[in-house]
C-alpha cells in the first residue's frame, strides 16, 4: 500500500517539515501560533504534515514568531500543487509514451473519453471533497489528456465499456446525453475502437473491475487495475499476460464497433 503522504505535493511536504523544525527550534507550541495567526490548530497540523498549502497570514506570523528572518517566507513561491499524486504519475508517464492502449471500464466513462461536464461532476462530487481550485485543476488535467486521442504519432486505442457505464447518469440526464454523443463522435476516429459489452453478454472477468493495458514506444507492456482508493501498476510479464487474456475474453463478448455505435445512439434518443 502506498504511503498516504505521497499523495500530497512534495513542495507542501518539504515546506511543512521546515515549518515544524522552525517552530520546534523556537519552542513555540502549535496552539500558540494558531491563536496568534487566528487559524485552527488543525490547520497548523495540516501544514506541517504537508496536507495543505500554508495560508499567507500564517506563514507571515510564523516567520516572525519563529525568528526565521524571511527564510521561511522564501519557500512560499515554490508551493506549487502537483497535478497528480505520486502514485499516478508513473502511470501517466507510460500513458504519454503509449503506442497502443486497451481499456476496459465496468462503471465509469474512461478518463480519455470524458466530456468536461461529466469529468466535473465526478471530480466535484468526490468525497472527501477537494478544495475548489484543486478540483478545477484536476478537471483541466483530465481534459488535457484527451489530446492523446489525436496525438502524433498516432496511438491505437481500444475501449470496451460495460453497459452499466452508459446508463449511469453522472451529472444528470443532459450531461449523460452529451457524454454519449461525444462517444459516438470519438468512435469516428480511425485509431479509436469503442465497443459495448451488453448486460446479457457479461462474463465473470468483466465483473472484476477496470483495467488498462498499454504498450510503449520501447515495446514495454504495462498494466493498471484500480479499486476504491488504491491502484496497482505492474510490468510483470505474468500479471500483464493474465490481464491481457481477460481483456481478450471480455472483448470477444462485446458488440462490434458498428453495433456498439448503434447501441449508444439508441440510448441517446429517449434522453
Phi, psi torsion values for 67, nearest 5 degrees: 70, 35
* Assigned C-alpha cell, 35: 491563536
Provide the pLDDT for residue 204: 94
Report the alpha-carbon angle 62-18-37, nearest 5. Answer: 20
Provide the pLDDT for residue 1: 38
Cβ atoms 256, 262 nearer than 8 A? no
b vs e for 146-176, b when ≥16 Cβ sit within 10 Å of the residue's Cβ? beeeeeeeebebbbbbbbebbeeebbeeebb
Cis amide prior to 157 (ω within 30 degrees): no
Provide the pLDDT for residue 229: 67
Every domain of the chain and the residues it spans: 4-78, 86-268
Q: 226: helix, coil or strand? A: strand
Domain 86-268 falls in which CATH fold?
Endonuclease; Chain A (3.30.870)
- Give DSSP secondary structure letters for 251-271: HHHSPPHHHHHHHHHHHHTT-
- CA-CA distance, 239 to 212, in Å (whole number)? 12
* 4-78 maps to CATH 1.10.260.40: yes
Task: Put residue 67 in one of left, alpha, beta given phi > 0 → left and psi -120 to 50 → alpha.
Answer: left
Measuring CA to CA, which residue among 257, 194, 213 is closest to residue 100?
213
Cβ atoms 187, 263 nearer than 8 A? no
Measuring CA to CA, which residue among 128, 127, 110 is closest to residue 119?
110
Does the predicted TM-score (pTM) go above 0.85?
A: no
pLDDT digits (tens), the chain, 271 positions: 344 445 577 888 889 999 999 999 999 999 999 999 998 898 899 899 988 888 889 999 999 999 999 999 998 888 865 555 555 667 877 888 899 999 999 999 999 999 999 999 999 998 888 888 888 988 998 999 999 999 999 999 999 999 999 999 999 999 999 999 999 999 999 999 999 999 999 999 999 999 999 998 888 899 999 887 677 888 889 999 999 999 999 999 999 999 999 999 999 988 8
Asked if the domains at 4-78 and 86-268 fall in one CATH topology, the answer is: no
* Assigned C-alpha cell, 236: 510483470
Amino acid at each position: 500500500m502506498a504511503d498516504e503522504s505521497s499523495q500530497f505535493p512534495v513542495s507542501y511536504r518539504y515546506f511543512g517539515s521546515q515549518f515544524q523544525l522552525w517552530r520546534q527550534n523556537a519552542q513555540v507550541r502549535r496552539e500558540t501560533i494558531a491563536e496568534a495567526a487566528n487559524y485552527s490548530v488543525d490547520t497548523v497540523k495540516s501544514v506541517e504534515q504537508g496536507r495543505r498549502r500554508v495560508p499567507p497570514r500564517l506563514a507571515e506570523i510564523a516567520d516572525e514568531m519563529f525568528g526565521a528572518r524571511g527564510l521561511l517566507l522564501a519557500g512560499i513561491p515554490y508551493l506549487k500543487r502537483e497535478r497528480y499524486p505520486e502514485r499516478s504519475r508513473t502511470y501517466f508517464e507510460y500513458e504519454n509514451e503509449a503506442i497502443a492502449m486497451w481499456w476496459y471500464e465496468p462503471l465509469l466513462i474512461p478518463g480519455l473519453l470524458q466530456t468536461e461536464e461529466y469529468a466535473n461532476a465526478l471530480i466535484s462530487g468526490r468525497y472527501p471533497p477537494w478544495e475548489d481550485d484543486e478540483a478545477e485543476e484536476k478537471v483541466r488535467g483530465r481534459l488535457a489528456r484527451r489530446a492523446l486521442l489525436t496525438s502524433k504519432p498516432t496511438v491505437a486505442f481500444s475501449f470496451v465499456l460495460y453497459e452499466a457505464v452508459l446508463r449511469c447518469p453522472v451529472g444528470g440526464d443532459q450531461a449523460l446525453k452529451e457524454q454519449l454523443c461525444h462517444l459516438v463522435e470519438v468512435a469516428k476516429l480511425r485509431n479509436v475502437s469503442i465497443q459495448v459489452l451488453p448486460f446479457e453478454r457479461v462474463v465473470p472477468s468483466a465483473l472484476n473491475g477496470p483495467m488498462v493495458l498499454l504498450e510503449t514506444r520501447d515495446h514495454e507492456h504495462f498494466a493498471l487495475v484500480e479499486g476504491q482508493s488504491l491502484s496497482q501498476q505492474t510490468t510483470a510479464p505474468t500479471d500483464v499476460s493474465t490481464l491481457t487474456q481477460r481483456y481478450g475474453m471480455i472483448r470477444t463478448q462485446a458488440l462490434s464497433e458498428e453495433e456498439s455505435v448503434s447501441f449508444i445512439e439508441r440510448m441517446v434518443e429517449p434522453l
